[in-house]
């Protein structure tokens, strides 16, 4: 696959890391054969996970992994945005705060005092936020980690001046395509598959587990219906709310649905 003519100047790409586990960057390196095509179409100028070689900006495309969790990161992301023409938020940490956003439901200062002997040495923000909450973002790729082929599609779309092809179908459709038995219907297992964007290949349902929501909210999601149907299946208190307060907990749709699930569970206990 050739993404751009060989005679055209190759766009400069930079890949940045903020608070994250590096899994989404590793997905890029796991492209294997596609990585060779990508490297021939663009000039990977800054990617510390892959090479120590750094070419100065400005850059045509900036790919950012991770959430903003420290004062230093809050300032650094502004500098990154200034040197990139287009910015892509890579993965659920970058698009919705990630697992780090679990701190948003409690006092991070209390956590620090409990875990660290000298919390006064730490510098952190009270909340973990997405890249888009700090600077403008042109495109977002959900996933924990991302689907590596989605990354290729986004870069190809930018180079070809078109919208990326992201089918809006949820995880449930991927289960149907694989011929999987619905874990919610067959086993009474709470599952976020009806409201979560596809792209993972229904990895968790294929292993008999409900979807955890790491690919973010589907554009066709009906969260009210999900809360009403899944909360009664809870095998322990607030199981559905806990699923919603997981990988994508800071996404607005997930936050409001989790609150609705907690309210429904509370009303059930009072009866």
Q: Which domain holds residue 192?
A: 171-270
| 78 and 203 share one domain | no
| 148 and 258 share one domain | no
68-108 pLDDT, tens per residue?
999 999 999 999 999 999 999 999 999 999 999 999 998 99
> At which of 129, 159, 189 does a domain end?
159
| 85 and 178 share one domain | no
| 154 and 176 share one domain | no
Looking at the domain assignment, is residue 40 inside a domain? yes
Looking at residue 1, its pLDDT comes to: 46
Bridge pairing between strands 84-90 and 139-141:
parallel
155-171 pLDDT, tens per residue?
889 888 899 988 788 99
> At which of 138, 159, 180 does a domain end?
159
Looking at the domain assignment, is residue 165 inside a domain? no
Residue 64's domain is classified under what CATH number?
3.40.50.700
| 31 and 155 share one domain | yes
| 149 and 183 share one domain | no
| 208 and 89 share one domain | no
For residue 170, give the nearest of 221, 231, 235 by alpha carbon.
Answer: 221
- Structurally, the chain folds into a number of domains equal to 2
96-144 pLDDT, tens per residue?
999 999 999 989 999 899 999 999 999 999 999 999 999 999 999 999 9
| 26 and 87 share one domain | yes
């Amino acid at each position: 696959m050739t993404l751009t003519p060989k005679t055209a100047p190759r766009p400069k790409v930079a890949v940045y890391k903020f608070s994250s586990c590096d899994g989404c960057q590793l997905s890029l390196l796991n492209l294997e054969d596609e990585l060779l095509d990508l490297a021939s179409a663009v000039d990977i100028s800054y990617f510390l996970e892959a090479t120590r070689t750094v070419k100065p900006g400005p850059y045509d495309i900036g790919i950012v992994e991770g959430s903003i969790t420290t004062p230093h990161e809050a300032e650094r992301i502004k500098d990154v945005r200034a040197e990139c023409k287009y910015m892509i938020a890579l993965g659920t940490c970058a698009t919705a705060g990630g697992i780090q956003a679990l701190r948003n439901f409690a006092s991070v200062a209390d956590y620090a005092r409990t875990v660290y002997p000298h919390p006064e040495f730490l510098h952190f923000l009270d909340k973990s936020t997405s890249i888009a909450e700090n600077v403008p973002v042109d495109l977002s790729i959900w996933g924990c980690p991302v689907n590596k082929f989605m990354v290729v599609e986004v870069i190809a779309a930018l180079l070809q001046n078109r919208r990326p092809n992201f089918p809006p179908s949820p995880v449930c459709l991927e289960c149907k395509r694989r011929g999987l038995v619905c874990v919610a219907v067959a086993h009474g297992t709470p599952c976020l598959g009806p409201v979560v964007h596809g792209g993972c290949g229904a990895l968790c349902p294929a292993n008999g587990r409900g979807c955890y929501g790491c690919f973010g909210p589907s554009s066709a999601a009906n969260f009210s219906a999900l809360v009403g149907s899944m909360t009664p299946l809870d095998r322990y208190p607030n199981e559905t709310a806990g699923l919603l307060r997981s990988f994508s907990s800071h996404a607005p749709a997930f936050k409001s649905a989790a609150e609705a699930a907690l309210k429904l569970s509370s009303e059930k206990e009072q009866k």
